[in-house]
């Protein structure tokens, strides 16, 4: 059919309804801040609130009314530290023993867990896993994205530190699931940053990404060539970041305080405040040479003075560790520092002047940071979300950050997949029994570079049952490791000589069981209802505002088709819509929009008639009849 009339006003575009699917966004779930971005036509943009803020501080306060996330939660840290959790990313897939104490006190109140698995935090009278707390952050990021887009969001690419182990990756995926998000892909943060950077600058050649976040350090070396982003090698430390700078400064503040005030006590809440003060001091010292402040605890403030040079001395060993990792990664890839064409700085902690100086000294060139280091990862994730849902000419080829293997006799590790192997990858190896008549085998899966099991990270224990009784060494047990494009590991095992189907039981060392996930999902249904109601409100608001704008535009174009009373009626209906849209009552918004639609119907019909007459005027009949095509 030939189209006779353009229904929409010029310049007014209809809402993008791509099928029934919501938007697919990129999310940087950071230790300090989180944010979302959306890419259209390879132009990614951070999604901001009405105040223009993209960053959601990764801080959650568990008030009696429910979780509060972001800047408001961070403010509550000052007077109600016992309700507030921050830097929870450091605990993803981690055990209680992984938490660093400060002046003898932990910055989290750890709840004892029965199985010694992933740590549980006691906060605001609740006991929560890091997965649940991260899910609350993701819900807030998702809400900000939906508000910015006026559209529901149900799919996301989520970034993780390249050096995250399997347990931490799985925990991140579980958190997204709890927040009602379908994870299109987990993408490594430095790789996402390279994508944003390379596409923006049309770079080719060898690029290094130095990513120092709040809790993790990643360094990746990539080759960029004609739209292919090939990670050559990656390295890092999943427990080294700007938080450690804060820890160093806070330790100094607490020591000074102990010297100034007799009987000053330290507990979890006071440590949280000391860390918050240390962070402010660090940020201040990024631009100034000295900081003077106080630690106001228990109405007994202690006074402190710090020079930038002093803080640099404190954090120098931490920065030196990152440079040593850079050296090792380049060596893994057999690349010399001078062969690297550009070094991109990512993460808020790269604002620290000492970090910039050391990176520049190692590579012999000034690092690049012309894309906001806080936003570049989310922008890359958004590009990847677009590529996965709408297609793209670019391709990310990533690698495993850590070697994967299983425990063999004597506590040694047999590696099945080496670090820096391109993913997806699958490898299999045969093992055998060591006792006559052995019918079960314990397969202990570990991740890490060391040769002894106790120096690697335990990922899980798998029990293979149903091995037919044979003499020792006769059974052929094939253990298969598969790492998918998200970097997630699946292990399976089978006895080959008899073809007997074998059962594999999985007990993740630092994960959540399916039962725990089921309980958490049930708990999140209440949240999901609130989310749904909020989303419907946003959508109603957008729809009503769009109708009002369309009628306004039509009034401006064809207002003379109406008499004064009709015009005044329409203007009243528009004002009613605008007033309702400013409020939070979805039913009122829908009613006002429907009233406006009804009121404007005669006007629309008159415009339609005029449009047809205009379109037909001066045209030959065969030019306006349907052609049948």
Partner 1 sequence: MTEAATPTTNAPATAAPLRCWSCGGPVASGAVFCATCRAVQPPGDADHFARLGLPRAFALDAAELDRRYFAAQRQLHPDRFATRSPRERAISQSQAVSLNDAYETLKAPLARACYLLKLEGVARTPDQDHTIDDPALLMDQMERREALGEAADGAAVQRIVAAADADARDALAAIARAFARDDLAAAARETTRLRYLEKLIEDARLARARVAPRQAAG
Q: Which are the catalytic amino acids?
A: 28, 89, 189, 211
| Residues numbered 322-341 forming contacts with partner 1, rule: CB under 8 A | 323-324, 327-328, 331
Residue 501 touching partner 1 (CB under 8 A): yes
| CB crowding 159-191: b at 16 or more within 10 Å, else e | bbbbbbbbbbbbbbbbbbbbbbbebbbbbbbbb
CA distances from 113 to 98, 121, 285, 510 (A): 14, 10, 40, 12
How do beta strands 23-29 and 33-40 pair? antiparallel
CA 569 distance to own-chain centroid: 48
Nearer of residues 372 and 484 to partner 1, judged by Cβ: 484
| Number of residues this chain uses to bind partner 1 (CB under 8 A) | 47
CB of 537 to partner 1, least distance (A): 29
CB of 331 to partner 1, least distance (A): 7
CA distances from 538 to 15, 70, 491, 549 (A): 13, 20, 43, 16
CB of 210 to partner 1, least distance (A): 15
The pair of three-digit structure tokens given for residue 462, joined into one six-digit string: 């798998």
Nearer of residues 157 and 209 to partner 1, judged by Cβ: 157
Secondary structure of 537-577 in HEC code, one letter for each residue: HHHHHHHHHHHHHHHHHHHHHHHHHCCHHHHHHHHHHHHHH
Bridge partner residues of 478 (DSSP): 430, 494
CB of 487 to partner 1, least distance (A): 12
CB of 320 to partner 1, least distance (A): 4
Q: Which of 397, 488, 506, 561 binds partner 1 (CB under 8 A)?
A: 397
* Window contacting partner 1 (CB under 8 A); options: 123-131, 292-300, 389-397, 540-548: 389-397
* Window contacting partner 1 (CB under 8 A); options: 93-101, 203-211, 416-424, 600-608: 416-424
| Residues numbered 145-184 forming contacts with partner 1, rule: CB under 8 A | 184
Instruction: Give me the residue label for tokens 């850590």.
Output: 402
Residue 421 touching partner 1 (CB under 8 A): yes
Bridge partner residues of 23 (DSSP): 153
CB of 480 to partner 1, least distance (A): 5
Residue 582 touching partner 1 (CB under 8 A): no
Nearer of residues 61 and 399 to partner 1, judged by Cβ: 399
Do residues 29 and 216 make contact, with C-beta atoms less than 8 angstroms apart? no
Question: How far is residue 175's CA from residue 135's CA, in Å, rounded to a whole number?
Answer: 5
Give the single-character DSSP code of 368. Answer: B
CA 113 distance to own-chain centroid: 27
Residue 314 touching partner 1 (CB under 8 A): no
Residue 428 touching partner 1 (CB under 8 A): yes
Residue 365 touching partner 1 (CB under 8 A): no
Bridge partner residues of 59 (DSSP): 86
Q: Which of 55, 105, 192, 319 binds partner 1 (CB under 8 A)?
A: 319
Question: Exposure of 26 by Cβ count < 10 A (0-12 exposed, 13-18 middle, 19+ buried)?
Answer: buried
* Nearest Cα to Cα of residue 413 among 440, 442, 447: 447
| CB crowding 304-334: b at 16 or more within 10 Å, else e | bebebeebbeebeebbeebbebbeebbeebe
Residue 419 touching partner 1 (CB under 8 A): no
Residue 358 touching partner 1 (CB under 8 A): yes
Nearer of residues 321 and 572 to partner 1, judged by Cβ: 321
Contacts of 257 by beta carbon, 8 Å cutoff, 6+ apart: 264, 295, 297, 302, 304
* Window contacting partner 1 (CB under 8 A); options: 42-50, 138-146, 386-394, 507-515: 386-394
| Residues numbered 183-242 forming contacts with partner 1, rule: CB under 8 A | 184-185, 225-226, 228, 230
Residue 40 touching partner 1 (CB under 8 A): no
Helix (H, G, I), strand (E, B) or coil at 401: coil
Sign of the CA dihedral with 536 first, then 537, 538, and 542 last: positive
Contact letters for partner 1, residues 232-271 (x by CB under 8 A)? ----------------------------------------
Nearer of residues 55 and 192 to partner 1, judged by Cβ: 192
CB of 233 to partner 1, least distance (A): 13
The pair of three-digit structure tokens given for residue 361, joined into one six-digit string: 């000294």
Residue 478 touching partner 1 (CB under 8 A): yes
Q: Which of 127, 251, 488, 504 binds partner 1 (CB under 8 A)?
A: 504
Question: How far is residue 508's CA from residue 485's CA, in Å, rounded to a whole number?
Answer: 20
Contact letters for partner 1, residues 479-498 (x by CB under 8 A)? -x-x-xx------xxx----
CB of 203 to partner 1, least distance (A): 17
Contact positions vs partner 1 (CB under 8 A): 184-185, 225-226, 228, 230, 316-317, 319-321, 323-324, 327-328, 331, 358, 361-362, 384, 387-389, 391, 395-397, 421-428, 478, 480, 482, 484-485, 492-494, 501-504
């Amino acid at each position: 059919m030939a189209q006779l009339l353009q229904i929409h006003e010029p310049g007014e575009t209809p809402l993008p309804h791509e099928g029934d699917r919501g938007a697919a966004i990129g999310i940087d779930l950071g230790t300090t801040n989180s944010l979302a971005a959306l890419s259209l036509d390879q132009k990614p943009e951070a999604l901001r609130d009405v105040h223009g803020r993209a960053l959601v501080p990764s801080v959650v306060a568990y008030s009696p009314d429910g979780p509060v996330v972001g800047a408001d939660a961070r403010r509550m840290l000052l007077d109600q530290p016992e309700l507030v959790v921050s830097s929870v990313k450091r605990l993803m897939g981690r055990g209680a023993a992984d938490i660093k104490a400060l002046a003898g006190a932990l910055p989290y109140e750890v709840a004892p867990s029965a199985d010694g698995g992933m740590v549980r935090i006691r906060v605001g009278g609740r006991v929560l896993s890091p997965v649940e707390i991260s899910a609350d952050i993701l819900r807030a990021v998702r809400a900000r994205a939906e508000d910015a887009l006026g559209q529901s969001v149900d799919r996301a690419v989520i970034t993780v530190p390249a050096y995250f182990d399997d347990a931490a990756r799985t925990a991140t995926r579980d958190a997204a699931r709890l927040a009602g998000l379908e994870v299109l892909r987990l993408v490594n943060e430095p790789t996402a940053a390279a994508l944003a950077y390379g596409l923006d600058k049309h770079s080719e050649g060898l690029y290094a990404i130095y990513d120092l976040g709040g809790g993790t350090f990643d360094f990746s070396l990539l080759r960029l060539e004609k739209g292919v982003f090939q990670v050559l090698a990656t390295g890092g430390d999943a427990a080294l970041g700007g938080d450690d700078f804060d820890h160093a400064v806070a330790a100094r503040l607490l020591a000074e305080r102990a010297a100034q005030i007799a009987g000053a006590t330290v507990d979890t809440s006071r440590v949280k405040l000391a860390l918050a003060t240390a962070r402010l001091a660090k940020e201040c010292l990024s631009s100034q040479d000295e900081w003077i402040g106080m630690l106001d605890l228990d109405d007994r403030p202690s006074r402190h003075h710090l020079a930038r040079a002093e803080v640099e001395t404190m954090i120098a060993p931490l920065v030196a560790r990152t440079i040593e990792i850079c050296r090792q990664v380049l060596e893994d890839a057999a690349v010399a520092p001078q062969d690297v064409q550009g070094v991109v700085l990512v993460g808020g902690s790269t604002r620290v002047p000492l970090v910039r100086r050391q990176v520049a000294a190692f590579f012999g060139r000034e690092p690049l940071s012309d894309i906001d280091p806080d936003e570049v990862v989310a922008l890359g994730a958004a590009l990847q979300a677009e590529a996965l849902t709408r297609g793209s000419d670019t391709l990310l080829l990533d690698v495993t950050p850590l070697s994967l293997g299983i425990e063999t006799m004597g506590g040694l590790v047999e590696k099945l997949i080496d670090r820096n192997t391109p993913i997806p990858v699958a490898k299999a190896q045969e093992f055998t029994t060591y006792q006559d008549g052995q019918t079960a085998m314990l397969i202990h899966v570990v991740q890490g570079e060391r040769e002894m099991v106790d120096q690697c990270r335990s990922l899980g224990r798998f029990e293979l049952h149903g091995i037919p009784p044979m003499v020792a060494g006769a059974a052929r047990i094939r253990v298969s490791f598969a790492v998918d494009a998200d970097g997630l590991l699946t292990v399976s095992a089978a006895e080959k000589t008899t073809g007997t189907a074998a059962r594999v039981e999985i007990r993740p060392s630092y994960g959540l069981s399916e039962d725990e996930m089921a309980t958490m999902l049930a708990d999140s249904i209440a949240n999901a209802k609130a989310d749904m109601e909020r989303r419907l409100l946003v959508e109603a608001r957008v729809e009503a505002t769009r109708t009002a704008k369309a009628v306004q535009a039509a009034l401006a174009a064809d207002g003379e088709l109406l008499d004064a009373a009709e015009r005044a009626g329409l203007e009243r209906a528009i004002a009613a819509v605008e007033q309702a849209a400013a409020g939070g009552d979805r039913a009122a918004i829908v009613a006002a929009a429907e009233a406006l639609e009804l009121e404007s119907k005669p006007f629309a019909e008159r415009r339609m008639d005029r449009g047809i007459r205009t379109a037909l005027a001066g045209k030959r009949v065969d030019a306006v009849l349907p052609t049948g095509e």
